[in-house]
Amino acid sequence: MSIEKFKVGCKVVHPDHGAGSIKSVSEENFFGFSKTYLIIEFFSTGSVVKIPVDEVLNGNIPLREVLPRNILEEKLKLLGQDVGVFKESYQRYLLDVKSGSIDKLIEVINELWFKRTKRQLHSRENKLLKEAINLLASEISIAFDVMQDEARSMILQAVGASEEDAENLFDTTLKNARGIKWVLKENASS
Residue predicted with more confidence, 21 or 77: 21
pLDDT of residue 177: 45
Please indicate, yes or no, whether residues 96 and 138 belong to a single structural domain of this protein. yes
Residue predicted with more confidence, 163 or 101: 101
pLDDT, tens digit, 9 for 90 and up, residues 117-148:
888 888 888 889 999 999 999 999 999 999 98
Residue 87 has pLDDT above 80, yes or no: no
- What percent of the chain has a predicted confidence (pLDDT) above 90? 32
Please indicate, yes or no, whether residues 133 and 170 belong to a single structural domain of this protein. yes
Distance CA 184, CA 152 (A): 15
pLDDT of residue 2: 59
Please indicate, yes or no, whether residues 20 and 101 belong to a single structural domain of this protein. no
- Domain total of the chain: 2
pLDDT of residue 165: 79
* CATH assignment of the domain containing 56: 2.40.10.170
pLDDT interval class at 57 (50, 70, 90): confident
Of 65, 99, 119, which marks where a domain is finished? Answer: 65
DSSP the chain: --GGGS-TT-EEEETTTEEEEEEEEEEEEETTEEEEEEEEEETTT--EEEEEHHHHHTTSS--EEPPPHHHHHHHHTTTT----S----HHHHHHHHHT--HHHHHHHHHHHHHHHHHSPPPHHHHHHHHHHHHHHHHHHHHHHT--HHHHHHHHHHHTT--HHHHHHHHS---TTHHHHHHHHHHHHH-
Of 65, 85, 103, which marks where a domain is finished? Answer: 65
Please indicate, yes or no, whether residues 95 and 181 belong to a single structural domain of this protein. yes
Enter the pTM of the model.
0.74
Residue 171 has pLDDT above 80, yes or no: no
State which residues form the domain around 133: 69-189
* CATH assignment of the domain containing 100: 1.20.58.1290
